[in-house]
Structure 1
Amino acid sequence: MMLALLALTGCAHMDSPGEVTYSLDAKENYDLGQEALKSGRHLEAIKYFEHVRFKFPYSAQAALADLGIADTNFDREKYVEAIEGYRTFLKMHPSHGQADYAAFRIALAHYKDIPSDFILFPPSTQKDQSAVREARISMDDFIRQYPGSSYAAEAKGLAADIRRRLAAHVLYVADFYLHRKRWQAAAGRLNKLLNDFPGSGFDGEALLKLARSYLALDQKDQARSALQRLITEFPQDPARGEAERLLSGT
């Protein structure tokens, strides 16, 4: 009897975790879903959003409920499901006012899905970089498609971090070859780092190691070129002193 009265008066409440009663209004149900999401009551939030989608499919809140479900999965760190939800939203509502938000959240979900560093596991630079590369593609796509978005500045900062991560991995591989005196392979990786990820923060270190690789290969002209570039383009880099010392001896 009480539940019926609550429904008739347009109210809803949580009976137990994940169990809800609904309002008769699309916006009220959507707002309750948002409130549940912000409070971390994910099962309740999804139920409200799904109710809006199926009971009020022609309301303004129906599309927003699709976003709400994706946001809930994102908040639960279920990034694959979140990405699928945001992509579905963009496919169904490409001109929606929240399209840039959905596109950014796709990129952000890829970024969040990058493996982290844990004490008991190898550093992320030593792991497979598939997730990092996927994040880079997604973030770059967003920046290109929505240059005027309010999320563009944040996306550019994250894109720079992604490039730094990829550059760190290339440097790790180069070090692997250097330690084994595979100078040509090391030089190839270091050149890749410098060409593909300029400004990553590893430029000076890469140029110094590249010069040493060339010296080991008895390619003194290339070594001098790398050292001179380090000194000229990165005068504040900690590697400059060693570069000057090597250059004076070549």
Structure 2
Amino acid sequence: MSMKHLLLVAMLSLLVACSSKRGVLDESLSESELYVMAQQDLNANNYGPAIEKLRALESRYPFGRFAEQAQLELIYAYYQNLEPEAARASADRFIRLHPQHPDVDYAYYIRGLASFTRDRGIFERFLPLDMTRRDPGAARDSFNEFAQLVSRYPDSRYAPDARLRMIYLRNLLAAYDAHVGHYYLKRGANVAAANRGRYIVENFQQTPSVPDGLALMVEGYRRLAMDELADTALQTLQSNYPDHPSLKSGEFRHHVQPAQREAGWVETMTLGSLNKLVAPPSRRSGQTQMEREMERQYQDAVTSLPREIRAPQQPKRSIWSRLTFGLFDD
């Protein structure tokens, strides 16, 4: 081995040794010293080192005077360090261990915030992406967690912000259901589309998606030849939302998909390219997480239909039949 290689190995070994030494906290540090050092890291926005010191403080002095405060600040540090799952787990643990703590409402609040941002990657945090087309699981969790905060601690300092976020999340969930309903219409699942529209109208009153729900009901019921129900939904749509895109001069014209935000040039040129590069090989090109979820829901809706009202499946046509436009089919 040449001298050059020996020097390279020595330098790498030195770097590894130095980094490992930096990662070990002195066992002789007192509780107060650990807490002060963690505070210094938090004030400097060094959340990784702060997490390390807060965890050490909690494990070494579980019954010390800073233990509960360290647990609260650990929730905050995880959230600020873009570790939402760790933040939620720490918040759950604090709520379980200290249900009567005067600051337990903060744990509820951060838990809701962690779910609020759980499905947003680094680009989604800064680019105006359409969140109504994302899997709504995290949004539902966040809404329920904020609802717990508001119901348990209505006078909390965090309650006003939680209520505003609940309004946003409710609108988002309603818009997601409208997209799903339109997807059902495109697939010919008219019963599921009409039911989804009725669900929006019944459960998401005072959201911008209510007229979309009514339009789904009109179109779905018309395709099912349920004219009385379609006319009732249409009258409600005409009376309350005369400017809805489905109404042309007061007449209903096929359900219009909810308005889509046009992607900005930064999103189109940057995020679109990166999404294509990082997509796993098993994922079909162009199929988003929401589309996969809608496909699953569509299949569930088809399976749940009674056999007697299912649409008969058309036999697959051969290549010859397609080329001859079926002129020679038996």
Give the TM-score normalised by structure 1: 0.76
Which is further off, 136-145 or 146-155? 136-145
| Residue among 39, 45, 58 paired with 2:50 | 45
- Greater helix share, 1 or 2? 1
| Residue among 78, 90, 93 paired with 2:83 | 78
Structure 1 distance, partners of 2:167, 2:181, is 21
1:242 corresponding residue in structure 2: 248
C-alpha displacement of 1:43: 3.3
Q: 1:242 to 1:128 in 2, by over 3 A?
A: same
Structure 2 distance, partners of 1:50, 1:87, is 16
Q: Are positions 1:62 and 2:58 aligned together?
A: no
Structure 1 distance, partners of 2:249, 2:130, is 28
Question: What is the alpha-carbon root mean square deviation over aligned residues?
Answer: 3.0
Matches within 5 A, 1:131-210: 131-210=138-217
Structure 1 distance, partners of 2:188, 2:217, is 12
Secondary structure at the counterpart of residue 215 of structure 1: helix
Secondary structure at the counterpart of residue 81 of structure 1: helix
Question: How many pairs does the alignment contain?
Answer: 227
Secondary structure at the counterpart of residue 132 of structure 1: helix
Q: Cα deviation per residue 1:191-211 (whole Å; 9 max; x = unaligned)?
A: 112222222211112212322
Contact 1:190-1:206 at 8 Å conserved across structures: yes
C-alpha displacement of 1:51: 4.5
Q: 1:19 to 1:42 in 2, by over 3 A?
A: farther
Q: Are positions 1:220 and 2:227 aligned together?
A: yes
Q: 1:34 to 1:194 in 2, by over 3 A?
A: farther
1:99 corresponding residue in structure 2: 104
Unaligned segments of structure 2, at least 5 residues: 1-20, 254-330
Whichever residue aligns with residue 202 of structure 1, its letter is S
C-alpha displacement of 1:103: 0.9
Q: 1:50 to 1:225 in 2, by over 3 A?
A: same
Give the TM-score normalised by structure 2: 0.59
Unaligned segments of structure 1, at least 5 residues: 1-15
Paired-residue identity, %: 24
Q: 1:197 to 1:191 in 2, by over 3 A?
A: same
Which is further off, 107-116 or 128-137? 128-137
